[in-house]
């Protein structure tokens, strides 16, 4: 093997539980392992980045990763960590979601690779769709006792938890179906290991048990390993912003907002996340942390984290554009930089900045700067304040310094709709032309 995978994951803080014998198996030979992804949406958010990175580490270490999209299990809903029964998705929505998740996973793992340890993409609906209820009850249900299933936290918490509304038979069967996935992949692909988040430990160990009990002719090997669920130091939920989930799809979360999410990480979280979400070697990370500790105001950790994750999920070009957009408000950007921004990104950059609307007729003949700063917009409190700012040479239009005699015209429009005005280094305004 190229490296000790478990040792690598351990120093990165990516191991929560590991079944005895797992490390020895991974060190002994190329091992096939899988992680399941639930198609509850047509994309994945950054919470799913951890299992994706686990599969990437697995591949980089010379092992064979399988990414399973749960077309069948998605029809039921995983009760792990849930206090209520899920709404069931229609088949059309499910198929749409499965296709979206496959598209996202293909950006991180090359399923067309010719390597011996080339990643595989599977959908459990393919082997579950023809399984009759009677056959499943006889062949699978017979192997695991209700007592064993009831002992799992995902079941106990739902049945005995405070205010619990109980659990349907549908969700109760989830761990058996996930367990059967492991058995199927073990039989068809010699898959020996299932990985996932720590909330999946119960489902995963049911799978290892089922592999052993359904292989009556030989003592089958099956292993389990989980990673911690990512948390934030302040106790708030990881991967959530005021606008909702942070997605891996630029159509759902723009690259600018994605980059900003990592850039705004706290010092404590950045130190943890740079180990989990990047592939930087230990020496580099240790040196970065030491440098950051010496000058935390420089936010070196956050900048490097944001750069690495944005390139991983999007591209170097996307990172460059996000950095240009980030510099618009406070950096040394130019009018050309402004004009390269699309409308959505420009509005995101200027979110929370004072804005005013004017009609196009106002600028067709030229809008004087006093009106642009005060009379028409109330950006500044009075015409006198506007004159003072202009005399101090502290006013810019689209990042270019202007005098009192300057007039804003249609030539100044960005995306045929916006003009940016700045007073000094920190006061920004956005003029929207209707």
Q: What is the pLDDT of residues 290-341, one digit of tens each?
A: 999 999 999 999 999 999 999 999 999 999 989 988 888 877 788 888 888 8
Integer Cα distance of 173 and 141 in angstroms: 9
Most confident of 30-34, 130-134, 154-158, 362-366: 30-34
State the pLDDT at residue 219.
61
Which residues neighbour 345 within 8 Å (Cβ) at sequence distance 6 or greater?
254, 256, 321, 325
State the pLDDT at residue 169.
84
Which band of pLDDT confidence, cut at 50, 70 and 90, is reported for residue 1? low
- What is residue 340's DSSP assignment? T
Asked if residue 154 lies in contact with residue 81, where contact means CB atoms within 8 angstroms, the answer is yes
The DSSP string of 250-271 is TTTS-HHHHHHHHHT--HHHHH
Is the pLDDT reported for residue 165 higher than 90?
A: no
The more confidently predicted of residues 101 and 236 is 101
Is the pLDDT reported for residue 7 higher than 70?
A: yes
Distances, alpha carbon 76 to alpha carbons 79, 94, 242, 387, in Å: 9, 11, 30, 66
Q: Longest Cα pair distance anywhere in the chain, in angstroms?
A: 91
Strands 427-433 and 418-423: antiparallel
Which band of pLDDT confidence, cut at 50, 70 and 90, is reported for residue 167? confident
Q: Is 300 exposed, middle or buried (0-12, 13-18, 19+ CB in 10 A)?
A: middle
What pTM does this model have? 0.86
Is the pLDDT reported for residue 164 higher than 60?
A: no
Is the pLDDT reported for residue 20 higher than 70?
A: yes
Q: In sequence order, which ranges of 173-314 are alpha helices (DSSP H)?
A: 174-189, 201-214, 255-263, 267-276, 282-294, 300-313
Integer Cα distance of 46 and 185 in angstroms: 26
- What is residue 140's DSSP assignment? I
Q: Mean of the pLDDT values across residues 137-146?
A: 85
Q: Mean of the pLDDT values across residues 372-399?
A: 92
Integer Cα distance of 40 and 97 in angstroms: 7
What SS3 state is found at 146?
helix
Is the pLDDT reported for residue 25 higher than 70?
A: yes
The DSSP string of 50-79 is HHHHHHHHHHHTT-EEEEEE-TTGGGT---
Nearest Cα neighbor of 196 from 41, 15, 10 is 15
As given in the structure block, the two tokens for residue 260 are 């900003």
Which residues neighbour 283 within 8 Å (Cβ) at sequence distance 6 or greater?
none
Mean pLDDT over the full length of the chain: 89
Percentage of the chain surpassing pLDDT 90? Answer: 62
Q: In what order do the strands lie in the sheet with 400-401?
A: 355-358, 427-433, 418-423, 395-397, 400-401
Asked if residue 373 lies in contact with residue 380, where contact means CB atoms within 8 angstroms, the answer is yes
Q: What confidence tens digit (pLDDT) does each residue in 410-426 have?
A: 999 999 999 999 998 88
State the pLDDT at residue 247.
95
Q: What confidence tens digit (pLDDT) does each residue in 77-118 have?
A: 666 655 555 567 788 898 899 999 999 999 999 999 999 999
The DSSP string of 33-44 is EEEEE--SSSS-
Rounded to 5 degrees, φ, ψ at 8 are -60, -45
Length of the chain: 434
Neighbouring C-beta atoms of residue 393, cutoff 10 Å: 10
Q: Is 295 exposed, middle or buried (0-12, 13-18, 19+ CB in 10 A)?
A: exposed
Task: Taking each helix axis as running N to C, give the angle between helix 282-294 and helix 300-313, from 0 to 180 degrees, rounded to the nearest 10.
Answer: 140
């Amino acid at each position: 093997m190229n490296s000790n995978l478990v040792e690598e994951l351990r120093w990165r803080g990516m191991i929560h539980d590991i079944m005895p014998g797992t490390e020895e198996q991974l060190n002994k030979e190329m091992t096939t392992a899988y992680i399941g992804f639930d198609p509850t949406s047509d994309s994945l958010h950054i919470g799913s980045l951890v299992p994706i990175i686990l599969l990437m580490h697995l591949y980089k270490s010379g092992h064979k990763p399988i990414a399973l999209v749960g077309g069948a299990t998605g029809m039921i809903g995983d009760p792990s960590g849930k206090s209520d029964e899920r709404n069931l998705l229609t088949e059309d929505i499910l198929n749409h979601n499965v296709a979206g998740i496959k598209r996202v996973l293909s950006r991180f793992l090359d399923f067309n690779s010719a390597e011996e340890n080339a990643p595989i993409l599977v959908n459990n609906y393919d082997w579950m769709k023809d399984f009759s209820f009677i056959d499943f009850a006889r062949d699978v249900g017979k192997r695991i006792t209700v007592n064993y299933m009831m002992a799992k936290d995902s079941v106990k918490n739902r049945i005995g938890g405070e205010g619990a509304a109980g659990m349907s038979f549908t969700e109760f069967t989830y761990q058996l179906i996930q367990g059967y996935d492991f058995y199927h992949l073990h039989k068809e692909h010699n898959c020996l290991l299932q990985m996932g988040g720590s909330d999946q430990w119960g489902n995963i160990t049911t799978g290892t048990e089922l592999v052993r009990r359904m292989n009556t002719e030989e003592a089958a090997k099956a292993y389990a390993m989980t990673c911690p669920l990512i948390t934030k130091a302040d106790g708030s939920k990881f991967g959530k912003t005021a606008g909702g989930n942070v997605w891996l799809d630029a159509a759902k979360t723009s690259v600018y907002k994605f980059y900003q999410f990592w850039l705004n990480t706290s010092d404590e979280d950045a130190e943890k996340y740079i180990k989990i979400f990047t592939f930087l070697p230990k020496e580099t990370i240790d040196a970065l942390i030491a440098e950051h500790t010496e000058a935390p105001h420089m936010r070196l950790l956050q900048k490097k984290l944001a750069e690495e994750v944005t390139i991983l999920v999007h591209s170097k070009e996307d990172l460059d554009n996000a950095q240009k957009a980030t510099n618009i408000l406070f950096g040394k950007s130019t009018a050309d930089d402004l004009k390269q921004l699309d409308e959505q990104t420009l509005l995101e950059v200027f979110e929370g900045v004072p804005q005013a609307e004017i009609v196009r007729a106002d600028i067709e003949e030229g809008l004087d700067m006093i009106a642009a700063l005060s009379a028409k917009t109330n950006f500044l409190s009075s015409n006198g304040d506007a004159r003072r700012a202009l005399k101090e040479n502290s006013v810019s239009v689209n990042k270019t310094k202007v005098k009192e005699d300057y007039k804003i015209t249609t030539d100044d429009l960005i995306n045929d709709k916006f003009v940016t005005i700045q007073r000094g280094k920190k006061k920004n305004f956005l003029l929207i032309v209707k």
